Structure 1
Amino acid sequence: MNLTKALSPVIFIASVLFTNAAMAYDPGKTDEICKKPQFRDFNLPVYKEPEKTEVPPESTLTFLVSPYVNPETIKLTAKNQDLEFSVESNSSFHRIKAKLPASFNGSFVRINAKATAILGCYDQTGWLIKVADK
Structure 2
Amino acid sequence: MKASLILNALIILTLPTQLWAYGSSSSSKKACEKPYFSEFAPPEKAEVAAGTEFSFIAATVSNPESIKVTIKNQPVDITVTPKGGKYNVSGKLPNSLAGSFARINITANGPNQCKGTGGWLVKVNE
TM-score (norm 1): 0.73
SS of 2:113's partner is: coil
* Structure 1 residue 41, shift from structure 2 partner: 0.5
User: Runs of 5+ in structure 1 lacking a partner?
Assistant: 1-8, 48-52
The whole-number CA distance in structure 2 between the counterparts of 1:86 and 1:63 is: 11
Aligned ranges 1:11-50 → 2 under 5 Å: 12=12, 16=15, 18-25=16-23, 30=28, 33-47=31-45
Deviations 1:42-89 (A, max 9, x none): 011222xxxxx4112211100011143311111100011000001001
TM-score (norm 2): 0.77
Q: Give the count of matched residue pairs.
A: 115
The whole-number CA distance in structure 2 between the counterparts of 1:82 and 1:19 is: 53
User: Runs of 5+ in structure 2 lacking a partner?
Assistant: 1-8
Aligned ranges 1:83-102 → 2 under 5 Å: 83-102=76-95
SS of 1:55's partner is: strand
Structure 1 segments of 4+ aligned residues over 4 angstroms from their partners:
29-32
SS of 1:34's partner is: coil
Q: CA RMSD in A?
A: 2.7
Question: Which residue, 112, 120, 127 being the options, matches 2:120?
Answer: 127
